[in-house]
Amino acid sequence: MTYLLQFCGFSDPLQVFHLEQSGVDVGPAYAGFRAFQLDDLLGWALTAAQARQWDSEGIQRTVLSEWMERAEAIRQWQRWLRQEPAGRLLVAALGTEADWRTRCEQLLRA
């Protein structure tokens, strides 16, 4: 199965909570990070994999691969995050192709 990891931008904790709650059963899993580090991202991704019964090894490969392939972009996100006010979080989303398709369909219906 293919998993897609995206970094969505910055948001406040309440909006991140709303995203997390809106995707509990369908759509990508969302999380907010203030210290944006590989260990935190991987820990969240593996927890999401367990909750959604995704392939943990596939999730781990996806996260590590994306982290390595997007190293410069990730450093840029980390720099931007340090410039954001203390209450802002970097939002990441992870899901299968079907999860992302469902999310896009939800947005078009709204």
- By three-state DSSP, how is residue 5 classified? strand
- By three-state DSSP, how is residue 34 classified? coil
pLDDT in tens, 24-78: 667 899 999 998 999 999 999 999 999 999 999 999 999 999 999 999 999 999 9
Distance in angstroms (rounded) separating the CA atoms of residues 33 and 42: 12
Q: Up-side HSE of residue 64: CA atoms within 13 Å toward CB?
A: 7
Domain that holds residue 93: 3-109
9 torsion bin: left (phi>0), alpha (psi -120 to 50), beta (else):
left
Q: Is the pLDDT of residue 23 over 70?
A: no
> How many structural domains is the chain composed of?
1
Phi, psi of 5 (to 5 degrees): -110, 130
Q: Share the mean pLDDT of the chain.
A: 92
